[in-house]
Amino acid sequence: RAAWGTQEGRLRDAALRGDSETVRLIVRRYAQPARELIEEKELGEWATAELSHDSEKADHHLDIAREVGLALARQGDQMAAESVHLADSLRSVDPKGLQELARGHSLYAQGLEDWNQGLYSRATEDFRKAQKIFERVKSPFALWARLQQARCDFQRTDYEAVARTLSDLTRK
């Protein structure tokens, strides 16, 4: 994990330069941290910039997510690439839907922050709201937000809720 710290900056720089080969090599070696970078940082930062109408900053974060997402997709993990594709599609055909997607990612990022602070009830609500938005805009993050709710329920020792959620997710 320590080596990832130096690679994270290289990955972001390579993604912004469009250096797909360097991105691919880093992602192949550090797939999980790269996935977490997109899920936990870049899409949340994109959402913040998008909701603030800072298109330059929004594009910056979405460009990183796009390049890393494509590298992850080559390894079989489609979620980041599909999420960026959805944002790109909504930008051109449904600007209100794009704002809705950004609100979903903003809530998801807030849920992660609340989780990290041990505020599991608040995080559950953030993830629940994000899930509903993601479902409306057909984001692949909808199921992920649902899984995050189960993690919160587990921390709150609501094991019946965890079982219901996991059972529901296995049917989807």
* CB atoms inside a 10 Å sphere around CB 2: 5
Q: Which two tokens stand for residue 61?
A: 């974060």
Nearest to 66 by CA among 40, 42, 31, 91: 42
Q: Is the predicted pLDDT of residue 10 greater than 60, yes or no? A: yes
Q: How confident is the model at residue 1 (pLDDT cuts 50, 70, 90)?
A: low
What pLDDT does 153 receive? Answer: 93
Full-model pTM:
0.93
Reduced DSSP (H G I as helix, E B as strand, rest coil) percent helix, strand, coil of the chain, to 5:
85, 0, 15
Contact indicator for 27, 34 with CB cutoff of 8 Å: yes
Q: Rounded to an integer, what distance in angstroms lies between the CA atom of residue 70 and that of residue 65?
A: 8
In this prediction, residue 2 carries a pLDDT of: 61
Q: With 90 as the cut, is the pLDDT of residue 7 above it?
A: yes
For helices 95-116 and 43-51, the axis angle rounded to 10 degrees is 130
Give pLDDT tens digits for 96-152: 999 999 999 999 999 999 999 999 999 999 999 999 999 999 999 999 999 999 999
CB atoms within 10 A of CB 58: 22
Determine the Cα angle at 74 with ends 30 and 15, to 5°. 60
- pLDDT digits 0-9 by tens, 149-158: 999 999 999 9
| Rounded Cα gap, residues 17 and 50, in angstroms | 21
How much is the average pLDDT of 9-33?
A: 97
DSSP 165: H
Q: Please give the structure tokens belonging to residue 121.
A: 């009830």
Give the CA angle between residues 22, 11, 86 to the nearest 5°: 100
Q: So what's the pLDDT on residue 126?
A: 98
